[in-house]
Amino acid sequence: MTEFTLDLNDDQRQVRDWLHGFAADVIRPAAAEWDEREETPWPVIQEAAKVGIYSLDFYAQQFFDPTGLSIPMTMEELFWGDAGIALSIVGTGLAAVGVLANGTEEQVGTWIPQMYGDPDDVKLAAFCSSEPDAGSDVSAMRTRAVYDEAKDEWVLDGTKTWATNGGIANVHVVVAVVDPELGSKGHASFIVPPATPGLSQGQKFKKHGIRASHTAEVVLDGVRVPGHCLLGGKQKLDERLARARERAKSAAGEGGGRVKNAAMATFEASRPAVGAMAVGTARAAYEVALDYATTRSQFGRPIIDNQGIAFQLADARTRIDASRLLVWRASWMAATGKAFTSAEGSMSKLFASETAQQVTAQAVQILGGNGFTREYPVERMHRDAAIYTIFEGTSEIQRLVIARALSGVQIR
């Protein structure tokens, strides 16, 4: 088993420095422009593909690192550059994780390459789970998937919302209800191939932050996909549903063990990565604030000479480092097959996301009036940081998950 260490190896350090250079030289100079335009930064994504950052090979190398640290390291560096552009670069990864978490080896080999394309023909993918009335409450999902046995096709109908790359993606991974009586246990994930009739983009959202990342509704109107597009296959689905029905017959479902949920399996795998994104944004804002505090003078001395400023920076750096440690622990546990018995994945996402909000707010305050203007990046970083406590499980949901794990009580 790979032992936990805080030291990156030589290969990891080289990749980190390479990513940092790309973030500094390519992402940051473009950040303000694409935030204002509120459009997908295709030139930056294409440049990332050209140098090998936006590619299946790079993603696979980082994902299968036995230490588990390469993915959070990658996320931290790219999001240090800019959260909106970075999300446009890594957003396809959530759909890829959905396939890895729920699909067969054949499905992984078939669909994930199509999600990325190649430098000459860049592709995108979208993971579609949330709905207008089903965000944190996945049991309220209404998008249906009905099996047409005669044609061996699944028919999908419904509306998804808050989908990164939704509608503009080449490949969509859609979570849908296959058995309404089983609630969240009656869900399954489906691949919707490129140019499938019936799938369209609904409303594109104008957002508070991460504005360079495309977020939209996805409308499914009689979308037909072949049977092989059910992630995991029908036999596996039927077996899982049978177990869920058996549990439902027993006393409040006790004694049957945990039944996997298609959307939750994806989020469990990705929460530490979201924590790493938050660490990158927090670190970026902290560095701007530290530089400003050491160069900005008031009353004849740098403002960092004041305890009110210095202590804020000390607290910020402490929370950033603590967040990174929680993220690395969870990432290492996931890579080495250790169960999150105390909801360590949720812990990392909760603490890091709230750290990003706090640190970016402190950075705005330290810069004063300058921090409130778009001439300085901390205003954008503060807007971007708000998303981390919301997407892929709000802070309230993370606390619920942690409390349930610690107590064994189904807290509501």
Kindly list the catalytic residues: 392
Residue with tokens 């299968």: 64
Q: What is the DSSP string of 333-360?
A: HHHTT---TT-HHHHHHHHHHHHHHHHH
Got the DSSP string for 157-177? EEEEEEEETTTT-SEEEEEEE
CA distance 388 to 75: 13
Distance of CA 110 to the CA centre of its chain: 22
Tokens representing 208 are 């508070």
For strand 121-122 and strand 125-128, is the pairing parallel, antiparallel, or unpaired?
A: unpaired
Beta strands in 142-268 (DSSP E): 144-148, 153-164, 171-177, 187-192, 199-204, 215-226
Count other Cβ atoms within 10 Å, centred on residue 390. 15
Distant-in-sequence, close-in-space partners of 42: CB < 8 Å, separation ≥ 6: 122
Are the C-beta atoms of 122 and 91 separated by less than 8 Å?
no
Q: Which two tokens stand for residue 273?
A: 């990565």
Separation CA 259–CA 256 (nearest Å): 8
**Whole-angstrom distance, CA of residue 40 vs CA of residue 295:** 35
* Token reading at 77: 């560096």
How far apart, in whole angstroms, are the C-alpha atoms of residue 165 and residue 171?
10
Task: Locate 201 and state its tokens.
Answer: 């983009």
Distance separating alpha carbons of residues 264 and 251, to the nearest angstrom:
24
* Phi, psi at 288, each rounded to 5°: -65, -45
Instruction: Bin 345: left if φ > 0, else alpha if -120 < ψ < 50, else beta.
Output: alpha
Torsion angle, alpha carbons of 196, 197, 202, 207, to 10: 10
Q: Which tokens in the block code for residue 175?
A: 């979570």
